[in-house]
Every structure is written in C-alpha cells, then in structure tokens.
Amino acid sequence: MKSRSFTNRNNSLPEPDRSIYLSTVIKTELMKKNTCAILTAAIVAAVSIPSIIAKAGPTDESVTESSLHKGLILHFTFDQDAPGGKVTDVSGKGNNGKASGVRWTADGKNGGAYEFTADGDEIVVANNKSVNPKQMTLAAWIKTSYMDDKWRRIFDKSYTQGYALSIAGDFGKNQSQRGLLSLEMGPGNHFMLTRKKVADGQWHQVVATFDGTDEMLFVDGKLEARPLRWKKGKKLGATDFNLVIGCNRSNLSPAENDLGASFRGLIAEPMMWNRALSTNEVAFLYQSQQ
C-alpha cells in the first residue's frame, strides 16, 4: 500500500481534530527552529570564545625560572669567595662587584654569603646606565639581629635621588622603627617601612619593587607594607653614585652621620631587575630560593 502524503493525511481528519493537529505541528516546528537557533549559537560560541581568549591571552601568565630572568640586570650568588675581591655578576649584564672588608662564609641561605662586621665593609658596583632603571626590583636574603640609630644599607644609591633598601635606624629621638625594613626612593623622598621587624636573627628574603606607580615591600614572599603610590607614570631618579651593597656611600648630608655605616650580618643572593616583579613572581622567587 502506498503511503499517504502529509497533506492528504491532514485533509482526511475531521475539522476539530485538524485544528488540534495543526496546532501541534506548529508548536513542533517552532521547537525545532528554537533548537536549531540554540545549537547554532552554541557552535558560534564554541568557535569564537577560544578565539577571543587566544587574542586576549591569559590574565596571569605562569611564572618559570626562564620568565623570571626577564629584566634581570644583577645577580650575585656568592657561591664561593671572590678571588681578589672581584664578585661575578651571573645575570649576563656584566655588573661585577668589588668586595672590600667583607668576610665570605659557606653558611649562607643556599650556599655562600658575605658577612658585614664593621663600618666600611661593602661590595661596590660601578655606576652605569643599567643600574639607573626607570622601574626596578631589588631582592636579597639577609640575616641580622643588629639594630641601632643608623640606617644600615642593604642596597644604596642615594635615598633622595635614586634608591636605598635598609634596616631602619632612628628619626631623631624616635626609636620605634629600629629593625624594620625600609625603602627610600627619589627624586624626592618616597619612604616606607614594613610592619614587622626583620632584624630578628633569622634568614629573611627582602624584596622592593617599583612599577612607575606603586612602591612595594615584601618579606618572605609576602607583601609586608602598604603600597606607596606615586603619581602615574613617574620614574626612578638616576644618579652618579655607584651601586653599593651593604654600606651607605651616598648620604652626604652633614646633619646626618650614616655615611660609611655598614650593614651588620649576612647578605646572600642580591639581585636587581629593571622592572617590577609581580606578586606571583615575588612568591615564586621566594619558593625557588628556599
């Protein structure tokens, strides 16, 4: 028997049944169209969303040792005593240092360290363009319990013109900030302190960053001071001073007596970048050097 066409089947129904049937057919067709529209939208989304993400890129790229090397301009490992006082920069930028007065020890954080025991102990990197960046990160491991009225420099290149990372001393008769970590930057005097002391006889990783707007201090991989905000688009001041690790060689004010004052304790793994590390990068650096 030949099958009947859709039209013939409709025409063979009684009038009331035909209305119900037609209504059902219309609903079915509309459902099909809606389903097709949804499927089409899903297909378009499946194709376009990955494309948008690919163009936008990840919001937080993963950190690796290789990516962390970007912008690195200074790195002293202190793995062995420097022959003739020459400390080799392993960043590849040639910022070698000259050690004077310091004593090398194998008892560092991860290998060797230099111990600073008297005023005048220092490691000097000759001034050049690379150590006068517009933005920066300073990092080092320190171990000290020494606190007094003087500002004991970890990095020094003029706190009013360039940058200085220190164990804080006194403001006049105010001794409350002794043993805190201090970051001072110029031009001018952009000054900040950590909330807790780092001069406690334990190893601490200290990191300072500046990205053109925010000046930040980290201790052991964590933000440890409220960011100090500059006017947007500012840049770090350039100076003619040498970059000195462990000694104050740029404070020339006759009213202050910190010139020549050295850090007291151990310094290991001093590093510098010409960019601000992200919070994730600081945390990664801390974990990688544990």
| Model confidence at 128: pLDDT above 90 | yes
Q: Kindly report the CATH class assigned to 66-288.
A: mainly beta
Which residues sit opposite 190 in a β-bridge?
185
pLDDT band at 232 (very low <50, low <70, confident <90, very high): confident
| Model confidence at 99: pLDDT above 80 | yes
Comparing 32 with 223, the larger pLDDT belongs to 223
DSSP, residue by residue, 69-118: TTTEEEE----SPPGGGEEPPTTSS---EEEES-EEES-SSSS-EEEE-S
> Could you tell me which of 117, 98, 119, 136 has the C-alpha nearest to residue 215?
136
Place of tokens 């949804």: 38
Of the chain, the percentage scoring pLDDT greater than 90 comes to 70
| Model confidence at 109: pLDDT above 80 | yes
Q: Give 119's DSSP letter.
A: T
For residues 225 and 198, what is the distance between their CA atoms, to the nearest angstrom?
A: 13
Helix (H, G, I), strand (E, B) or coil at 125: strand
pLDDT at 253: 80
Q: Tally the residues of the chain.
A: 290
For residue range 130-147, what is the model confidence (pLDDT) as tens digits?
Answer: 999 999 999 999 999 999
pLDDT at 39: 37
Domain boundaries, the chain: 6-56, 66-288
Which are the contacts of 90, defined by CB distance < 8 A and separation ≥ 6? Answer: 75, 76, 77
Strands 103-105 and 97-100: unpaired
Q: Which two tokens stand for residue 133?
A: 């960046």
DSSP, residue by residue, 154-168: EEEE-TTTSEEEEE-
Across 188-216, average pLDDT: 96
CA dist list (Å): 27 to 34, 46, 58, 66, 250 = 10, 28, 44, 61, 85
Q: Which two tokens stand for residue 203?
A: 């190893």
Q: Which two tokens stand for residue 42?
A: 């899903």
Are the C-beta atoms of 245 and 101 separated by less than 8 Å? no
Are the C-beta atoms of 219 and 181 separated by less than 8 Å? yes
Helix (H) or strand (E) holding 65: helix 65-68
Q: Is 290 exposed, middle or buried (0-12, 13-18, 19+ CB in 10 A)?
A: exposed
Of the chain, the percentage scoring pLDDT greater than 70 comes to 79
Across 163-188, average pLDDT: 94
